[in-house]
């Protein structure tokens, strides 16, 4: 058997977003991965991996996020065929904007299309999250959920799994700044505390609740005030050179919030498109890193849709 090639785009995503560790996520317009696949007789074959960081990505389908997630969907659907895959990374691995999540979600979504779209959203997200569990040192769906559903997503519970999607405000602009340092999610999860205090729990619950309200009502000032993290970003800050300086530069240039994207190293800044200029924030952070002798890539973008057929 050798079918037609099907191609999908899987976007970068921001996870955690202040108080929502392993809960909140948002899809970005760019960058994104492109994954192509066609039906073959059996098994999963990865015949090509290209793009930034491709040389670090395993081609063994049992160790590759695209392969693991696609295989989970084939199993779940009882498919009687396999898939040959080609992966074009647009999102560098170890970036903090859901590189492995985009691979996992893209692989799951592609297999879902080839199987005739038999799964519901929660089943599809969980197939992708299985890949995250293998490659990132813990089951978390806060990148794969927005990567599949688009917009802003909130995971109410992992067992049983329940996720909701909220349309973010049109006025919400996003600056992504990626300093030239690699931080693996496995490494960044290993430094987290095993327990949190009641004081921090109360702080997170209050900010998380207001953040969701702000997303729904389009209150960008409240959104900015609610992007607060007393536990996870402080525990990881030492892994990201000049994180606090980058956040301070963004805030001094009009950002509403500036914070660590996922497990880092990306520094994410929110701004109001109607009131601020994202390019100024991006230039400010890039120049700060240049002064320290470090390269930093930036994107001025916004929230976007989930995986889509190309
Ligand atoms: N919520 C996860 C973490 C996201 O922070 O470890 C990893 O991309």
- CA dihedral (27, 186, 239, 279) in degrees, to 10, reads -20
Lowest mean pLDDT among 26-30, 93-97, 112-116, 164-168: 93-97
Question: To which residue do tokens 């599809």 refer?
Answer: 124
Residue 204 phi/psi, 5-degree rounding, is: -70, -40
pTM of the model: 0.95
Residue 137 has pLDDT above 80, yes or no: no
Residue 29 has pLDDT above 90, yes or no: yes
What average pLDDT does this structure show over 152-180?
97
Q: Is 143 in the pocket of ligand 1 (CB under 6 A)?
A: yes
Q: How large is the angle between the packed helices 99-114 and 121-136, nearest 10 degrees?
A: 140
Q: Is 185 in the pocket of ligand 1 (CB under 6 A)?
A: yes
| CA 137 to centroid of ligand 1, rounded, Å | 10
Provide the pLDDT confidence category of residue 136 given band limits of 50, 70 and 90.
Answer: confident
Residue 1 has pLDDT above 80, yes or no: no
Which residues belong to the active site?
132, 185
Say what the pLDDT of residue 86 is. Answer: 97
């Amino acid at each position: 058997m050798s079918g037609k090639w099907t191609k999908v785009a899987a976007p970068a995503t921001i996870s955690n977003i202040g108080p929502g560790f392993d809960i909140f996520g948002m899809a970005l317009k760019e960058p994104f991965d492109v994954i192509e696949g066609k039906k073959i007789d059996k098994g999963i074959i990865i015949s090509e991996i290209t793009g930034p960081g491709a040389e670090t990505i395993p081609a063994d389908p049992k160790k590759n996020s695209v392969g693991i997630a696609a295989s989970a969907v084939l199993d779940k659907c009882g498919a009687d065929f396999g898939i040959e895959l080609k992966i074009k990374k647009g999102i560098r691995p170890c970036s903090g904007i859901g590189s492995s999540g985009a691979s996992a979600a893209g692989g799951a979504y592609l297999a879902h299309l080839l199987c005739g779209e038999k799964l519901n959203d929660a089943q599809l997200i969980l197939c992708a999250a299985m890949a995250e569990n293998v490659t990132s040192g813990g089951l978390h769906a806060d990148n794969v959920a927005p990567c599949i559903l688009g917009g802003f997503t909130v995971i109410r519970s992992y067992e049983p799994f329940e996720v909701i999607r909220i349309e973010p405000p049109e006025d919400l602009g996003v600056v992504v700044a990626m300093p030239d340092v690699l931080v693996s999610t496995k490494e960044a999860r290993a430094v987290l505390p095993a327990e949190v205090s009641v004081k921090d729990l109360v702080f997170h619950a209050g900010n998380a609740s207001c953040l969701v309200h702000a997303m729904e009502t389009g209150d960008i000032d409240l959104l900015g005030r609610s992007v607060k993290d007393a536990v996870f970003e402080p525990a990881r800050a030492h892994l990201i050179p000049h994180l606090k300086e980058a956040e301070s530069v963004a805030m001094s240039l009009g950002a509403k919030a500036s914070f660590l994207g996922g497990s880092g190293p990306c520094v994410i800044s929110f701004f109001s498109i109607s009131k601020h200029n994202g390019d100024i924030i991006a230039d400010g952070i890039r120049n700060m890193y240049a002064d320290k002798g470090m390269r930093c890539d930036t994107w001025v973008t916004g929230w976007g849709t989930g995986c889509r057929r190309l």
